[in-house]
Amino acid sequence: MSVQISSGVGASGIAVAYERFGDRAARRCPGDGLGTQMLGWPDDFCLALVGRGLQVIRFDNRDVGLSTHLRDAPRPDVAAAMAGGTSSASYTLSDMAADAVGLLRALELDRAAPTIRWST
């Protein structure tokens, strides 16, 4: 797999680094970094999903790995965030969800698989 960059993603217009595994016509299953680089999703795991007929797109969220880093954004107040205050945050989880949707659109994917059912 090779890392690719999609520029101008979502309303924020950020750059998102991603890798794509599997047949592009397969059912979709995106995998994001969840606070770590996309490499947190091991190749073997991604390939196992491909073996079950899924296409996997793993990507770096903003401020992680090779995606856009918001270097000029103010540092959040961690203590306030731990107490539930979000006013110092430069972006929200909704913004990050919009980034994921923006990447799907940039890749011309109409949907992501909401669930995976494993058979034993």
Domains of the chain: 4-106 (3.40.50.1820)
Write down the pTM of the prediction: 0.78
pLDDT tens string 90-104: 888 889 889 989 999
| Six token digits for residue 21 | 């595994």
Side-chain-facing half-sphere of 53: CA atoms under 13 Å? 6
Q: Which helix (H) or strand (E) holds 100?
A: helix 93-106
pLDDT tens string 23-48: 887 766 655 555 678 888 889 998 99
> Considering only CA atoms, which of 19, 29, 20, 18 is closest in space to residue 61?
18
